[in-house]
Amino acid sequence: MKKRPALTQLSELGEFKLIERLTGDLHMKQKSTIKGVGDDAAVIDYGDELIVLTTDMLVEGIHFNLVYTPLRHLGYKAVVVNLSDVYAMNAIPGQITVSIAVSAKFSVEGIEELYSGIKQACNNYEVDLVGGDTTSSMSGLIISITAAGTVPRDRIVYRNTARENDLICVSGDLGAAYIGLQLLEREKRIFEAGSGVQPELTGWEYVMERQLKPEAPRQIIKNLENTGILPTAMIDLSDGLSSDLLHICKQSQKGCRIYQDKIPIDMETVKLAGEMNIEPFLCALNGGEDYELLFTTPLEDHDKLAKLKDVHIIGHMTSPEAGTAFVTSEGSQIVLHAHGWDALI
């Protein structure tokens, strides 16, 4: 039997050596990165484009559970959720900073696993890791990532600029990350009950990947530009379609009307939701963590949109007086509420 290699205690290294070990192999890929890790601050040259800046914090026990989340996937996801916000401004991410706080229960090798996921995301999305902070925590792991990106002045897209009669579109499919999480939680409970039953995850690879290792909507931003579509408003789907669409409505001072039949839901999501006695459309409306784009476009873009792969028109903006309406398959009308993440739990 092969002996498992001994793990390195964080205290054996100290902060500077740990940073060296984690970032020593970084190669900057962005022309705009003038200076990465190693000074008081990173230095970036964006010429005269607009800069977008966004940040997210992930806390163990709140946002992730290491019982079923591989550290490598977690690192990857932590980057992706930030890049998703950059794309939602119609911008292209260029750099990230990564701060982590870790308790003594983590080994150096564990942190390297986390960073291997972070670096893989940086490679896939051509983003440079240019700085950060590494410190101790009293309990568990905390990851705080900030992403910076750029966009030409005439192409920035906000949330508060949707107009009456604009088409409402989403990319990809919704609800999968949420139902994937329910599956992982269910199997964890069964496993922890000590029945000796191994988790049964076969056949649910898509929904699990959407939960554990999501991707950011880079391609859709490229496709929109190539097709000559500039959205009138845009947001990334992180809190759930209801909550995020209501942000656009509230900030744009408009109403909306979306149709249950138009909401894209993958067959695996539908099947698993059925097995778990959850309405699939509720996963899509309130689940969250989809990291797809929700955007509005002028009505005239209808034909261009029809040609786009992975983009679905789910309704249209209305006057504020018309309210925020969800039209069910049976034709009845429900007022959209922001349930967000906790609604179905």
Tokens of 319: 């006057």
Task: Please tell me whether residue 79 binds its own copies under the rule CB under 8 A.
Answer: no
The residue whose two tokens read 């949330």 is 159
Amino acid at position 75, single letter: G
Say if CB 245 and CB 336 are below 8 A apart. yes
Task: Please tell me whether residue 51 binds its own copies under the rule CB under 8 A.
Answer: yes
Shortest Cβ 31–its own copies spacing (Å): 13
Exactly one of 12, 109, 126, 133 binds its own copies (CB under 8 A); which one?
Answer: 133
DSSP code, position 319:
-
Task: Please tell me whether residue 146 binds its own copies under the rule CB under 8 A.
Answer: yes
Task: Please tell me whether residue 236 binds its own copies under the rule CB under 8 A.
Answer: yes
Q: What gap in Å lies between CA 292 and CA 85, rounded to an integer?
A: 10
Exactly one of 45, 109, 205, 261 binds its own copies (CB under 8 A); which one?
Answer: 45
Task: Please tell me whether residue 24 binds its own copies under the rule CB under 8 A.
Answer: no
Residue count (the chain): 345
Which span (142-150, 253-261, 268-276, 316-324) binds its own copies, by CB under 8 A? 142-150
Using CB under 8 A as the binding criterion, the count of chain residues that bind its own copies stands at 62
Q: What gap in Å lies between CA 269 and CA 129, rounded to an integer?
A: 34
Which CB sits closer to its own copies, 141 or 311? 141
Q: What gap in Å lies between CA 287 and CA 340, rounded to an integer?
A: 7
Q: How far is CA 296 from CA 28, 163, 170, 180, 237, in A?
A: 35, 8, 9, 28, 13
Task: Please tell me whether residue 101 binds its own copies under the rule CB under 8 A.
Answer: yes
Positions touching its own copies (CB under 8 A) are 34-35, 38-48, 50-57, 59-63, 84-86, 88-89, 91, 95, 97, 99-101, 130-133, 135-140, 142, 144, 146-149, 153, 156, 158-160, 234-236, 251
